[in-house]
Every structure is written in structure tokens, then in C-alpha cells.
Amino acid sequence: MMAAIAAAGEGAKVVLLERTARLGLKLQISGGGRCNVTNDEGDPRRLVRMFPGGGRRLLNAFHAFGKEDLLELLRRRGVETVVEAPYGKVFPASDKSTDILDALQAEMRDLGVDVRLNTRVSGVDVEDGHVAAVRTESYVFPCRAAILCVGGKSMPKSGSSGDGYAIARAVGHTVTDLFPSLVPLKVEGVGGLAGVALRDVEGIVLVDGKKADGPFRGDMLFTHSGLSGPVVLQLSRAACEALRRGATAEVRIALRPGATAEDVDADLRQRFASRAAAQVVTVIAELMPKAAAALFLSNLGVGADRPVSQLSREERRRLVEGLLAWRFPVTGWLSFDIAEVTAGGVDLGEVDPKTFESRIVKGLFWAGEVLDVDGYVGGYNLQAAWSTGWAAGKGAARAAMEGGL
């Protein structure tokens, strides 16, 4: 939609081909239906650091169309936004993702964009190194410029099932290895805690014993198969990438972010001194949900029903260590069906970083998640979609009109 708006705004005749029965399915379900439309970070140099995949190649796009440009477009359409602390997430003030979708559709209508629903693209025709047409299952659309914004493999129910990668390979593009990002992780032995949350914790991920990403602070959620929640989703990319290449991955969760071992030990000794006859699990449950406390103690080899007065110094040391780094070896990840983002995609070295035009096929442009671009939680991935779509739309319009369309 943003690519269509940018191209039509340049005066080009634009047809938008949508595979599903309605526009913006993934947009509508983002942020739990609230739509974390962007992030409050406005400096492109800092923004690119929030993309472990392809960040540096987005610098030009963020300069050309950034957060303020998006918010101004939305304000013109009557959509006010709010910033949520502490992570700078930007949402529509109404908390309705449909307001964002309505604004984009209104912009397209006013610019004369021709929207075709239930139209699945099957390929791109190339003649003499230049795009000549876009093929669907029932029609061929001749064109001088085409933009593929078909998404990745994540959340296929939204219409993005990986079609773009086959099209990219067919015209000679390289597609880098694909794996899920922002996805729940599998760990063993936590199924009994499904639905239990740990609030305001801090997490890191280790790959082959060395820190690979983090720390990230927020909430964590136990699931039937492992771990989820904002902290885990942030760490999932590094964990998935490690497992994919045969390395080990371990998530470590600090239940006392920012505290030192001395701080935690002093706190435990004070709690134990005032509750000498209490069971260990009762005291530890003051620091986390009781169900989680039982598993926590079991993992550390500390008897949950023992009086705290009977704990040895070594056992107290293990408690301190566990509160600062509860360890969860990662065994896998859940599927692309629920992953929020696809890591990997069309090789960014094969596209122009200013217009996202293919270096292989003239007049063919790429934008959004089909590219080898992926960011952290916080509205970053949507901002990448807006910015790359805008850049590709402008570039495609110029390419089309130079060809006489």
C-alpha cells in the first residue's frame, strides 16, 4: 500500500494486486490488533541498529521516509498516535489497527490506485533484462516497472507464504537462508507452567556459551512447549540462527535486572532471617509466581519444602546465581505459522539501496519483508515496510514514466 501511494503520488498509473480477499491482513493483526505502527526513534543511524538482519542497507530509506513522514500522512487522514513507554512503541490513539488501514486505503483511493483483490501473482516476465509483465493465475499485466512487496513466510494466513522467493530465484536473484524471527522458542520441562508470566525480567541469549544478543528487558511467558513474551521474541533470532547452523543456544533470564550478586544475596539472607521456619518455596514465591518457584528450585537442585534455616551456603549461592541467570537450553522454535517475521530473503547486495531496484532486472523493485531484512520487536519491522515501500514506489514511478507509461 505504501509503495502504491508513493508511486501514484509521482503521477504513475498504479495497479495493486492483492492475493487475499482484503488488504492489510497482517497489519490488522499486528500488535494484538492495536498496530504498533512504528517506533519513536527518529534518528536513522540509531534505527538501523535495531535490525540484526540488513540494518545498514536501510539507512537511505529511513532518511527518505522516516517516522515523522509516516505520522504526518496519518495525521492528514485524521489518525492521531501515542507513544508507549518505556520502549517507544507508537500506536494509533484509538488502539485500532483498522484506523491505519483505513487511512492508507483512503490515500490510495484519492490517488487513483486500482486495487485488485483475490489476485495471486505467479511470476514476472523479463525481456532483454527488463521487466515486461506481471503474471497472475488468469491474467497478464504488461508493465515497465513492478514492485514485489509479497512478504516473507511468516504468518501465511495473512497471505505471505513465501511466493516471492520462487519469483526472485526465477529471475536470477539470490535468496539468503530463511528462518523465523520474533518467534516463541522450545525448551524442555516447562509445559506445566503454560500461561505463567515473569514480569520485568531481563534476558540474554548465549550461542556456544558466548553472549550473542541482549540484554532485553520486559516480560516473559511460559508456554506448553517453551518460552514466549517480548523478551524471548527479541532473543529468538539469534537462537534460531544458531540452531539452524548446528550451534547450541541458551536463554538466560535475570529475575532481578540490574542487581549484583551481593545485592541478591543480602536480600535473601534478610528474607531467610525473618522467616527461618518457612519453606524455601514460600520465600522464593515472593520473588516470582509460586508455580514458577517450584520449577526454579527443582532446576537448581534445592528442595522446595525444606526450611530456609537448613539451607547451606552453597545452596544459597545457587539461588543467587539462578535469580541472576535462570538458564533455559533452547531445543527449537515454533513454526513460521506464528513467527512475526522472516529472517533472510532477497539478497540486499542485489538491489539498489536508494530505490530497491533490482541490479539484475531493470524495472523490478523489491520492498518489505521479502528482502533480507528483519528487526526487533517495537514497530521497527513496520517502519522498514513503510520506508522501503516508499523508496521503491518513487523509484518504480520514475522507471515507468521514463518508459512512457
Summarised one tens digit per residue, pLDDT across range 203-228 is: 999 999 999 999 999 999 999 999 99
Q: What number is the average pLDDT over the span 110-132?
A: 96
Q: Worst-scoring range by mean pLDDT, 202-211, 305-314, 375-384? A: 305-314
Dump pLDDT digits (tens) for 317-351. Answer: 999 999 999 999 999 999 999 999 999 999 999 99
Distance in angstroms (rounded) separating the CA atoms of residues 42 and 55? 15
Per-residue confidence (pLDDT) for residue 156, from 0 to 100: 83
139 alpha-carbon distance from chain centroid: 34
Nearest to 153 by CA among 184, 177, 185, 125: 177
Alpha helices, H only, 333-379: none
Per-residue confidence (pLDDT) for residue 155, from 0 to 100: 86
**Average pLDDT value for the chain:** 95
Q: What band does 56 get if pLDDT is binned at 50, 70 and 90? A: very high
Res 125 pLDDT > 70? yes
Res 404 pLDDT > 70? no
Per-residue confidence (pLDDT) for residue 402, from 0 to 100: 82
Q: What number is the average pLDDT over the span 281-297?
A: 94
Residue 389: Cβ-neighbour burial (10 angstroms; 0-12, 13-18, 19+) = buried
Task: Write the Ramachandran bin of 214: left for phi over 0, alpha for psi from -120 to 50, otherwise beta.
Answer: left
Query: Regarding beta strands 226-228 and 185-186, do their DSSP bridges make them parallel or antiparallel, or are they unpaired?
Result: antiparallel
- State percent of the chain over pLDDT 90: 91
DSSP state of 358: B
Q: Starting at the edge strand that comes first in sequence, how are the strands of the sheet with 81-84 ordered?
A: 38-39, 89-92, 81-84
Dump pLDDT digits (tens) for 138-185. Answer: 999 999 999 999 999 998 888 788 899 999 999 999 999 999 999 999
Res 374 pLDDT > 90? yes
Considering the entire predicted model, what is its pTM? 0.92
52 upstream amide cis, omega within 30 of 0: no
Q: What band does 403 get if pLDDT is binned at 50, 70 and 90? A: low
- State percent of the chain over pLDDT 70: 99
